[in-house]
A and B are shown apart, each in its own frame.
Chain A
Amino acid sequence: AQRVTQPEKLLSVFKGAPVELKCNYSYSGSPELFWYVQYSRQRLQLLLRHISRESIKGFTADLNKGETSFHLKKPFAQEEDSAMYYCALNNAGNMLTFGGGTRLMVKP
């Protein structure tokens, strides 16, 4: 069975500090991984897909198949980055499995 684990429920950093939100997965096939962000009282928004290898709002994420990880990173956090972040895995059957989410708080 597939599983996504985000070990930190809350991550608090100061503005300008580096951020790493951890995500580990277990899946027997070839994974398709996403990061979604949910700002206060708003919808889930797609932040990154691993296959596009892009940087959005300064965030990047690299799929590490050896460590089964897809950690989200940003070198300098901004206050507007404060939100709930969800890592998700898409299986071959077209279904997303979400991690439990990490609340990022960026303090001024």
Chain B
Amino acid sequence: EPEVTQTPSHQVTQMGQEVILRCVPISNHLYFYWYRQILGQKVEFLVSFYNNEISEKSEIFDDQFSVERPDGSNFTLKIRSTKLEDSAMYFCASKGTAYYGYTFGSGTRLTVV
């Protein structure tokens, strides 16, 4: 069964540093997403991406965040200057059409120290 792949599985970074979280969605999917889950809290939507542009974003997704699909396979989330409160599990997801369920990656645990 096709999978969404995320790398790295765990990243530790110093406050103020830039991080890039990488995702390889399922190859024929068209919609791409980032979600995050702070420890002990619910999974929260960050951003959706379709047709090479952001289609929706939450209030969490401020100017420190950006997404990119640099080639036909990767989908990245960049945090420009990390804060302690950015520490969370970040999940990438994709889906093929508007009517399919989402397929999630296994997540990247980001720890900001």
Contacts and interface: CB of A to CB of B under 8 A. Distances in A.
Interface string B15-41: 000000000000000010101000001
B43 interface: yes
A45 B47 CA distance: 19
Given A44-B43, A86-B43, A96 B106 contact: no
B87 interface: no
Contacts of A96: 33, 35, 43, 45, 93, 102
Interface of B: 4, 31, 33, 35, 41-45, 48, 50, 55-56, 58, 91, 93, 98, 101-107
Interface stretch (A14-22, A63-71, A97-105): A97-105
A11 B103 CA distance: 26
B55 A98 contact: no
Contacts of A99: 42
Contacts of A30: none
B45 to A, nearest CB: 5
A86 B37 CA distance: 12
A20 to B, nearest CB: 20
B101 A97 contact: no
Interface residues of A, number: 19
A43 B105 contact: yes
B113 to A, nearest CB: 22
Contacts of A98: 35, 42-44
A42 interface: yes
Interface in A44-71: 44-46, 49
Q: Which of A44, A45, A101 has the most CB of B within 10 A?
A: A44
A40 interface: no
A46 B103 contact: yes
Contacts of A28: none
Given A95-B48, A95-B56, A96-B45, A46 B101 contact: yes
